[in-house]
């Protein structure tokens, strides 16, 4: 005996039409395709990506300044890698500024904005976002390496001190 009664099947079939019917496919395509296109246009729009880029460059600057903070300084301002990162942050900041200005100018006209979108402006923005995030990762790696180096010196200092204390204790006992 089936768990579903014979009288319930027509109700279930009317509530969930078969996916192979032409009418169902047209109905679904009429809503799904425009929603999919609108989603792609929104998430790939240069104005939204510019906002993401601005947030990413601010995060990089915050990470950099946290690494150079005076209290918990993990990086020294005279370090060669730090100087290279300062130049990278500065050059990316200029690049982001130029990209933002161009995007804002293009956004004044929908026709120009759409033309720039079709020319691949989105890919240039995504590439710049990737550069910014890569720099942030490099800063964090350098900060962690410096922290590990500081911890090695710290533990080595205490190991020497402990061995010295044990040596002095043995000298006093004997």
What are the CA-CA distances from residue 134 to residues 62, 129, 138, 170 (Å)? Answer: 15, 9, 6, 53
Token digits for 83?
């100087």
pTM of the model as a whole = 0.63
Helix/strand/coil for 18: coil
Q: Where are the domains of the chain?
A: 50-161
Query: Cα separation of 102 and 107, whole Å?
Result: 9
Contact between residue 12 and residue 83 where contact means Cβ atoms under 8 Å apart? no
Residue 29 neighbours by CB under 8 Å, 6+ apart: none
Question: How many Cα atoms sit within 13 Å of 61 on the Cβ side?
Answer: 11
Structure-token match 């990086």, residue found: 75
| Cβ count within 10 A of residue 91 | 12
59 Cβ partners below 8 Å, 6+ apart?
136
User: What tens-digit pLDDT sequence spans the chain (174 residues)?
Assistant: 455 555 555 555 555 555 555 556 777 778 888 888 888 888 888 888 899 999 999 998 888 888 777 555 555 655 666 677 778 888 888 998 998 999 888 888 888 888 888 888 889 899 999 999 998 898 888 878 777 776 666 665 555 555 555 655 566 565
């Amino acid at each position: 005996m089936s768990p579903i009664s014979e009288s319930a099947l027509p109700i279930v079939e009317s509530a969930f039409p078969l996916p192979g019917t032409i009418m169902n496919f047209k109905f679904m395509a009429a809503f799904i395709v425009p929603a999919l296109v609108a989603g792609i246009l929104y998430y790939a729009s240069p104005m939204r990506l510019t906002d993401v880029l601005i947030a990413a460059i601010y995060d990089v600057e915050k990470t950099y300044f946290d690494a150079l903070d005076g209290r918990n300084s993990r990086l020294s301002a005279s370090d060669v890698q730090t100087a290279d990162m300062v130049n990278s942050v500065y050059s990316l900041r200029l690049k982001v500024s130029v990209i933002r200005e161009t995007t804002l100018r293009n956004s004044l006209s929908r026709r120009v904005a759409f033309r720039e979108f079709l020319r691949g402006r989105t890919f240039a923005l995504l590439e710049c976002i990737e550069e910014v995030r890569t720099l942030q990762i490099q800063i964090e790696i350098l900060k962690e390496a410096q922290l590990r180096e500081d911890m090695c010196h710290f533990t080595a200092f205490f190991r020497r001190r402990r061995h010295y204390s044990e040596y002095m204790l043995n000298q006093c006992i004997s």
